[in-house]
Chain A
Amino acid sequence: DAGVTQSPTHLIKTRGQQVTLRCSPISGHKSVSWYQQVLGQGPQFIFQYYEKEERGRGNFPDRFSARQFPNYSSELNVNALLLGDSALYLCASSLDTGFRNQPQHFGDGTRLSIL
């Protein structure tokens, strides 16, 4: 079975541009979460979506937005890119928002570099 897949794997943008990152969860998983991992740090929570609804938001500016589609895939959008947005963006999926015995499984991420 395929794990969590993310695209693209690498992306280079310039300041002020906009970017869209994509995630396909494990088949049967309905919850998708997004995390930002800056070099040398642990991942930071950005969003959680379940059944196409936002269920949680981390401490990120409104330039960050996301959505989930009927097939449970998800997109993360970042507008007006800043140098500080350079990071590895990770997507994780789980069966639903209830966690016990339903661990979050991570994709390999999208490496975003801002010039």
Chain B
Amino acid sequence: GQQLNQSPQSMFIQEGEDVSMNCTSSSIFNTWLWYKQEPGEGPVLLIALYKAGELTSNGRLTAQFGITRKDSFLNISASIPSDVGIYFCAGLSYGGATNKLIFGTGTLLAVQP
């Protein structure tokens, strides 16, 4: 199935470090989303982006909607152990009356206390 390219695939960092991850697509999206998934749970929405160039923050998280509408970035500042999980980007694809999320391949984040 279709998946967006997300990098890096995994990150192992020390508590307090900043984190950056990005997502690219060959297709244009009108909406970009970032989710976090922890073991045994479903994805939880972190940030939603609706306009090209938009920069949105949610606490220590900041995400940007790329100008070309084909990419997005997520930054986490001052990481803490509870940031551990898999982060997914998702582009929203509109088609008639349907909207479906196209997910990225995920970035596994591990934080060493």
Interface residues of chain A, those whose CB is within 8 Å of chain B, are 4, 33, 35, 40-45, 48, 50, 55-56, 58-59, 90, 92, 97-100, 103-109
Report chain A residues within 8 Å CB of B100.
Answer: 33, 45, 48, 56, 58
Is B92 interfacial (CB 8 A cutoff)? yes
In Å, the complex CA distance between A100 and B33 comes to 11
In Å, the complex CA distance between A4 and B45 comes to 13
In the complex, 5 of the A-B residue pairs with CB atoms within 8 angstroms, ordered by the A residue number, are A41-B105, A58-B1, A99-B94, A103-B48, A106-B35
B45 smallest CB distance to A (angstroms): 5
A73 smallest CB distance to B (angstroms): 17
**Is the beta-carbon distance between A4 and B42 smaller than 8 angstroms?**
yes
Report chain B residues within 8 Å CB of A55.
Answer: 96-98
**Is the beta-carbon distance between B97 and A43 smaller than 8 angstroms?**
no
Report chain B residues within 8 Å CB of A42.
Answer: 3-4, 88, 90, 103-106
Report chain B residues within 8 Å CB of A33.
Answer: 100-101
**CB contact between A105 and one of B1, B2, B45, B106 (< 8 Å): that residue:** B45
Report chain B residues within 8 Å CB of A40.
Answer: 106
The contact string, 1 if C-beta is below 8 Å from chain A, for chain B 1-15, is 111100000000000
Is B43 interfacial (CB 8 A cutoff)? yes
